[in-house]
Structure 1
């Protein structure tokens, strides 16, 4: 579909527009609709010329007159304002941010400040797909966003979230001037793009000055200002703040270009703002040079960057390289070194995380580090405190790791004191257990600090998947005394929720329904939701296969020490569970408070589904898959694992077979050769499974 450029001859509001309008009420509805459409068309063009091309055609006063006229016409004749430029002023506050699925996964990028790591990335790329060109882009220090267009019209915007799902911030993003509500040129019918929301540095300074004058706390840095603004539930507040967007990738399209360089050209043609400091280079040394030049120029830019991103240009090569579970294999972030400053530690406090881990934090005399005021820095764990010799009143060197997380690097002036790590949890008073360099509160889910975080984790996708139960809502429920453990979620009623601020009947009923629908999770999702230390999705699946049902775990009120010894011994036989993980899992179930919460969940009607296995036909066999098969990688894993086998992500001496599909990567084949691992085509894989009595492909 095509949106033609605005023609000055057919649209009188493009150049030297008239601004002296007759009263809107004197027009017929047909005349008003016609004039409003011309005004929308012209204002969109003026927005593009001003915000994207930085070449305005008319004065600000003339633009304001056209905009005011459009507002008057839409109001007088009750015209549809969907995706009209007037919708940028922001609508009514919304109750909460809903969660939406992304069109395509928004994966992360491996990163390093070391040029050797970038060259290693280049060597792997060339080993697997041959020589490639790279597109080098600034690594914006903002908030990643997905925006979806259908038939050229803005439909939806969402934050990155967990990469699969994010918060719906459509109402907020529509107010950002650099986001077109209608595409230009020859755009595809369906389009999802990725960009970065940021706050320009000059505008950030002005905003903070206004906040200080108004008696409000200033934002710590432009990224925090952008993130906080975008998640504000009142779009009119967002409209008043100076956000902007750069676009840099196509996530999904009915017509995908053949290269990244082409993609950027298309984004520009469609009216989407692309950074001008982007280059295409022929080799990795060109990428190194680009990063070094950008580091020299970073302070002259009006937006924050913390490095550069190097992307394989060819789309075909990208597809062949593929992705990992959380990151792409065709791009690399070459970061700038962290900036350092010296300040004084005034106190050390200990924070308690979701899994009970205790993290010491240094409270500092505020110091500017790379343009950001830093007053707190992580000390990671008790061993690091001992290794650094850190104590209150010491002068220390601070750096922002990745230009984001402040941490203490070294003591530069010892004040002569020492710091003793607490033996009791600072929140609940429970004994602190040490596990190597780490410290953990033994209070489990009864510890208030762990409680709130564990409730939020319980609801995420991959765990119980309770839509609408985000961090802010969890905090509100805990503060109101409605929820103390995850089991209390199943007691919530609509009337409980509607008595709280920002809850309506609809949102309350939606949450109650979502909680009710979560009562029959898979066993592995249930285990993920319990916040067991060291247990992510992969380990949870392995535990679910091993123990079969929740009754296979020691959850009774009275469980003997010998029972736990047997449990831990069995844990160590599970694939991907070593001694450390086994000990952490045992510790979790040995805590009587944790077992009480699990029993309470079951009493509330939560019934984790037992794992159905097809048998042990493939017991002892480990497979690795590379390339594309007739079915998805997850379907292959589920089939093999349901019959007692294992599917892992990398080839080693423990691998029995490497299954090779279409467009396979070279590295796994090289590893198979090195470890003498037999390789199978998909047809040979099917034949092998048939020999064991397993049908492939799965239905």
Structure 2
């Protein structure tokens, strides 16, 4: 390779890696696997070493990535949070061991830890209490996410015992268990949102939400794995973790001390398959020198510690045959293609199906029937096709095409600009949509109607007894008792629960209607701001988008719902059945319009109220709590440690700053 070719290749790799960094750290939507990224980074490192004349301090090889978000206050790390070097083979692990041997004559042990696939966090404790939680950020500084981290029940807010250091830092990984991830994605699909790709993306996206109450609902978990500070209880890293366990921290029970690199390799080989039995995602093993004193002597390179390395598992991948593609219609009308495969064993389970998500994925893979396909189940819950061996494709193989008509009702599908999914617009005549909407209506988080489930809804639909949610309230005991697997007691329980559901509060009724993009949180926002269903039905696009967290897409969906005559008829029937379509008087007490027309940005930390409480007070008094500064901002409600970028903007735009005390006087 000559100099011109080398320069072109280096610049191309840098550009590609920066784009992947942006997709991963900023958007939380990675477009390639970690392994592919690391291979490209290693290729760039090799080229830069061979051609040092093209050194660039801004090269991706000179940085550790960043997830900083200007909506949060940035905090400098006392100890830099550097990334680890990655390895993918026994040979690289042995090289790591040999490098340590060259740097020290002392005997040493290793500690092996499961590498949890989540998002890193630094936890600062003073006098036994959680003081601050900070993301990894760019390694030097990170975002203050203390309010969100306080909602994670596996992170202690106050420590047990009394033998902990007065001040120390604990590092860990915030993650989402598989079971919770599946629930979250189901809820997103229920409101027509794209599901998260994997638990890691879901965890990183959740911890950066501006609403701590919403973070709490996501049921995040956390494991801690490293203790830093002065006057620590033990020189041994492993031993320090055992102390931390007694203080109330969640430490993985699978952490193990190993006498040599051969024991490390045995540990890795065991977890290469056993990891699939864990309730959370792991993508490798972290190996550390146990002695903290020796860690300090070995020191760091520019990007990573010399005393630690990560062994990354390759996502398990198998080859099988694509037999057919079927198309499923969901409650919102979204049509999802599903690959039907020749059954194959993958990661401990037999896989027969894999999600293809949308038409773009099918086209990108250039799928043909009877293709030999590679299926992967890495951090994903649902297996996915990642590649096709087109060298084995039969000459007459039929190309997979996305359908044009609904497989259930024959209606022509639509695809809106900017959306990946195709939809069946026949909301009131497409059987899966009808049944799906009723199932959503009766669900626990909505109307919570006991005795009804998917099978019963299917039975009632087949018998012609229900075609929408209002039909449920017309059901009679004599219609239910003769049905298969029903009987007198079951019928009585259903009718009693339907009667009780008439007391379900307005915000849950609104969620139960199944308006696209209106999930639990949005339904609550709309209900609290507009008070009753009539106000919501009359609200304009500007009125809706003026409500906190209601964007154009949600507003347009709400307006479209109320413009449909069939929906208005359904609402009238539900009203006549006595369902709650306005906020209860007790909820309305204490509301005022003292802040009407005012847009207020909250930044910093406060003495008397949390940011969420202040947000609630703004909205309760008719104001709008917004996340970013603009010309339309009325005030900045500032506490301690206001974000510097926000201060700069308000000074430039001449926006007044309110203290917490001044704000409380405004609403007295």
Q: TM-score, normalised by structure 1?
A: 0.49
- Correspondence for 1:688 among 626, 639, 663: 663
Other-structure match for 1:324: none
**Correspondence 1:140-539 to 2 at 5 A:** 262=243, 264-265=245-246, 275-277=253-255, 296-299=269-272, 301=274, 304-305=277-278, 306-307=281-282, 338-400=315-377, 402-413=379-390, 416-436=397-417, 437-460=420-443, 463-466=446-449, 483-492=466-475, 512-539=495-522
Task: Tell me if the contact between 2:339 and 2:356 (Cα under 8 Å) persists in the aligned partners.
Answer: yes
Task: Tell me if the contact between 2:272 and 2:313 (Cα under 8 Å) persists in the aligned partners.
Answer: no
CA deviations 1:643-681 (Å, max 9, x no partner) are 3322356778876555566xx7x6x63553454479999
* CA distance in 1: counterparts of 2:438 and 2:570, whole angstroms: 12
Cα distance change of structure 1 residues 195 and 671 upon mapping to structure 2, 3 Å threshold = closer
- Correspondence for 1:640 among 611, 615, 618: 618
Alpha-carbon shift at residue 534 of structure 1 (Å) = 1.6
Helix, strand or coil for the counterpart of 1:605?
A: coil
Task: Tell me if the contact between 2:318 and 2:376 (Cα under 8 Å) persists in the aligned partners.
Answer: yes
Task: Tell me if the contact between 2:73 and 2:604 (Cα under 8 Å) persists in the aligned partners.
Answer: no
**Correspondence 1:91-110 to 2 at 5 A:** none
Alpha-carbon shift at residue 357 of structure 1 (Å) = 0.9
Helix, strand or coil for the counterpart of 1:398?
A: strand
* CA distance in 2: counterparts of 1:586 and 1:594, whole angstroms: 11
Other-structure match for 1:602: 575
CA RMSD of aligned residues (A): 5.4
Alpha-carbon shift at residue 614 of structure 1 (Å) = 2.1
Alpha-carbon shift at residue 685 of structure 1 (Å) = 2.5
Helix, strand or coil for the counterpart of 1:421?
A: coil
Alpha-carbon shift at residue 470 of structure 1 (Å) = 5.8
**Correspondence 1:123-134 to 2 at 5 A:** 127=75, 130-131=78-79
Helix, strand or coil for the counterpart of 2:408?
A: coil
Task: Tell me if the contact between 2:322 and 2:339 (Cα under 8 Å) persists in the aligned partners.
Answer: yes
Other-structure match for 1:37: none
Alpha-carbon shift at residue 524 of structure 1 (Å) = 3.5
**Gapped runs of 5+ residues in structure 2?**
1-27, 39-59, 83-110, 118-160, 162-174, 180-220, 225-232, 234-239, 287-309
CA deviations 1:522-571 (Å, max 9, x no partner) are 4433322222222223433444456542123559xxxxxxxxxx955654
* CA distance in 1: counterparts of 2:596 and 2:311, whole angstroms: 43
**Correspondence 1:81-100 to 2 at 5 A:** none
* CA distance in 1: counterparts of 2:464 and 2:257, whole angstroms: 55
* CA distance in 1: counterparts of 2:66 and 2:353, whole angstroms: 35
Alpha-carbon shift at residue 513 of structure 1 (Å) = 4.4
Alignment of 1:621 onto 2:594: no
Cα distance change of structure 1 residues 476 and 339 upon mapping to structure 2, 3 Å threshold = farther
**Correspondence 1:40-59 to 2 at 5 A:** none
Alpha-carbon shift at residue 359 of structure 1 (Å) = 0.8
Other-structure match for 1:158: none
Cα distance change of structure 1 residues 260 and 308 upon mapping to structure 2, 3 Å threshold = farther
Cα distance change of structure 1 residues 278 and 421 upon mapping to structure 2, 3 Å threshold = same
Q: Number of aligned residue pairs: give it.
A: 432
Task: Tell me if the contact between 2:112 and 2:256 (Cα under 8 Å) persists in the aligned partners.
Answer: yes
Helix, strand or coil for the counterpart of 2:383?
A: strand
Helix, strand or coil for the counterpart of 1:600?
A: helix
Cα distance change of structure 1 residues 428 and 468 upon mapping to structure 2, 3 Å threshold = same
Cα distance change of structure 1 residues 195 and 137 upon mapping to structure 2, 3 Å threshold = farther
* CA distance in 1: counterparts of 2:177 and 2:463, whole angstroms: 36
* CA distance in 2: counterparts of 1:526 and 1:583, whole angstroms: 20
* CA distance in 1: counterparts of 2:650 and 2:559, whole angstroms: 37
Cα distance change of structure 1 residues 535 and 652 upon mapping to structure 2, 3 Å threshold = farther
CA deviations 1:355-393 (Å, max 9, x no partner) are 111111111222333333222111111233233322323
Task: Tell me if the contact between 2:334 and 2:423 (Cα under 8 Å) persists in the aligned partners.
Answer: yes
* CA distance in 2: counterparts of 1:118 and 1:489, whole angstroms: 57
* CA distance in 1: counterparts of 2:553 and 2:347, whole angstroms: 38
Task: Tell me if the contact between 1:651 and 1:671 (Cα under 8 Å) persists in the aligned partners.
Answer: no
Alignment of 1:588 onto 2:561: yes
Task: Tell me if the contact between 2:321 and 2:371 (Cα under 8 Å) persists in the aligned partners.
Answer: yes
Alpha-carbon shift at residue 422 of structure 1 (Å) = 2.7
Helix, strand or coil for the counterpart of 1:427?
A: coil
* CA distance in 2: counterparts of 1:628 and 1:357, whole angstroms: 44
* CA distance in 2: counterparts of 1:589 and 1:335, whole angstroms: 51
Alpha-carbon shift at residue 573 of structure 1 (Å) = 5.1
Cα distance change of structure 1 residues 469 and 249 upon mapping to structure 2, 3 Å threshold = farther
* CA distance in 2: counterparts of 1:591 and 1:466, whole angstroms: 26
Other-structure match for 1:214: none
* CA distance in 1: counterparts of 2:246 and 2:596, whole angstroms: 50
* CA distance in 2: counterparts of 1:680 and 1:309, whole angstroms: 50
* CA distance in 1: counterparts of 2:655 and 2:271, whole angstroms: 49
* CA distance in 2: counterparts of 1:262 and 1:658, whole angstroms: 44
Cα distance change of structure 1 residues 648 and 513 upon mapping to structure 2, 3 Å threshold = farther
Alpha-carbon shift at residue 307 of structure 1 (Å) = 0.3
Task: Tell me if the contact between 2:284 and 2:311 (Cα under 8 Å) persists in the aligned partners.
Answer: yes
Task: Tell me if the contact between 2:340 and 2:352 (Cα under 8 Å) persists in the aligned partners.
Answer: yes
- Correspondence for 1:672 among 639, 646, 668: 646
Q: TM-score, normalised by structure 2?
A: 0.51
